Amino acid sequence: MSVGTTKPALIEQGHWLTVRDCKRVLVVAHTVTFAQRLREVFELLETDLRIQLVFTVAPHAFGSGVNEYLRNLDITTVPWEEALRAEFDLALAAGSRGVHQLRTPVVRISHGAGQIKLLTDVSTLAPGERRSPGMLSRQHLLHEGRLVPAAIVYAHDRDLKELARSCPEALPVAHVVGDPCVDRITAGGPLRGSYRRALGIEDGQRLVVVTSTWGPASTFGRLDSLVPQLLSQLPSDDYRVAMLVHPNVFAGHGLRQVHGWLSCCRSQGIAVLPPEADWQALLIAADWIIGDHGSLTAYGTLTDATMLLTAGPRREVSDRSPAALLSTIAPVVSPVYPLAEQLEYAARLRRPGQYDEVAASLSSAPGQFHRRMRSVVYRMLGLGEPARPPFVAPPSPPPSLTRWASSVGSGTAR
């Protein structure tokens, strides 16, 4: 994929351009997480000769690493200040910060597995006003009383019911399109065996994947209670262990610092995937997933893995979210009992269809995200859609876990 060009051509679209009269779509990447979700959308557009994509990185507290992520996709970005001055036909954004300044209609893309985390800044709430998840809150959708997005896309029908309570002004522009991660994980399910071979999982070995969102109540925030179990209680000949840490942890603390904290894990053969890595194949390949209230744990219910949870924050999680539902049916890891025994116990207790309700809560339009999302964007651009269905590829085969398990230098290897 190569969608970058020189900056003047991207902004001014002068007489030197070869392909003219394009609809210009601005892709606003705030963080690596947001950019990963936006990729599911802009890849639906980039082959159309009627559309020119322009990329920019908006300021964000967790913006570290996003420029490198985009460069690795051969994407050239324009400065945020230039993007604010330029004219576009449409903008795509997964975050809210600064997008009210854009001079173009904005499509807000929800990210993550459902609307999990409740609004953290309660200072803006009126007395008695209930907390809503960020993408359903007035605080994230309105600016000075004005609705910012021209369209908002959600994964599930229940989001519209919540939106009717939290921000009814946004209902006319809200669309249910499904979840791209649900669709890709489902497409990759039959490839589980090939993913395990690519990861280097040998016959008889079992894979434990530890997932963490960001924040003090995350698995990573309490890693000191879990690491001793991972290092001392799982025989390396029988178990392979990999860690998936939210990109915001790396962006907030710094890549070198996080790898420094995890150097004991890497030196013992535990794979620590970098923030830009494709995580979906790893979840599909897992035998067990140990996670918190984050999205990756919820997405794990789409796989064959047995789920275990670390202790989590009930007050910070929406009681209507997949994470809350999972917390009622998945066992919780205890630091006082041997981890291998807890894994085996959870596997024995697992019953057929145990996670079906959680998995169903991730998307009310399974298999339809790319088709519905493309329809929303093309309709807003005033263009007819391509006369072919969008292709939904399964996750790519992952690299060997050995690549991410070695402790190189000071822990700066990616």
Q: CA 83 to CA 54: how far, in whole Å?
A: 9
Q: Does the pLDDT value for residue 407 go beyond 60?
A: no
Q: What pLDDT does residue 21 have?
A: 81
Return the pLDDT at 121.
58
What does residue 307 show for φ and ψ, rounded to 5 degrees?
-100, 135
- pLDDT reading at 350 higher than 80: yes
What is the pTM for the complete model shown?
0.90
Q: How far apart are CA 108 and CA 159, in angstroms?
A: 14
In sequence order, what DSSP letters do the residues of 299-358 get, joined into one string? HGGGSSPEEEE----STTB-TTSHHHHHTTTS-B--TTS-HHHHHHHHHHH--TTTTHHH
Question: Cα(24)–Cα(14) distance, rounded to whole angstroms?
Answer: 13
* 16, 9 contact by CB (below 8 A): yes
CA atoms within 13 A on the CB side of 279: 28
Residue 217, pLDDT above cutoff 90: no
Q: Which of 331, 330, 321 is nearest to 295 (CA)?
A: 321
Strand 306-309 to strand 288-291: parallel, antiparallel, or no bridges (unpaired)?
parallel
pLDDT digits (tens, 9 = 90+) for 84-124: 999 999 999 999 999 999 999 999 998 888 777 666 655 56
The answer, yes or no, to whether residue 169 has pLDDT greater than 50, is: yes
**Quick check: 412 pLDDT over 80?**
no
| Angle, alpha carbons 28-30-35 (nearest 5°) | 75
CB 225: neighbour CB atoms within 10 A?
Answer: 14
CB 297 within 8 A of CB 280: no
Q: In the prediction, which pLDDT does 25 show?
A: 97
Domains contained in the chain, CATH given? 7-181+364-381 (3.40.50), 189-362+398-405 (3.40.50.2000)
**DSSP state, residue 118:** B
Residue 93 bridge partners (DSSP): 28, 108
- pLDDT at residue 7 is higher than 60: no
- 135, two tokens: 């993408």
pLDDT score, position 341: 93
Residue 51 clears pLDDT 80, i.e. is over it: yes
Determine the Cα–Cα distance for residues 279 and 151; give it in Å rounded to an integer. 28
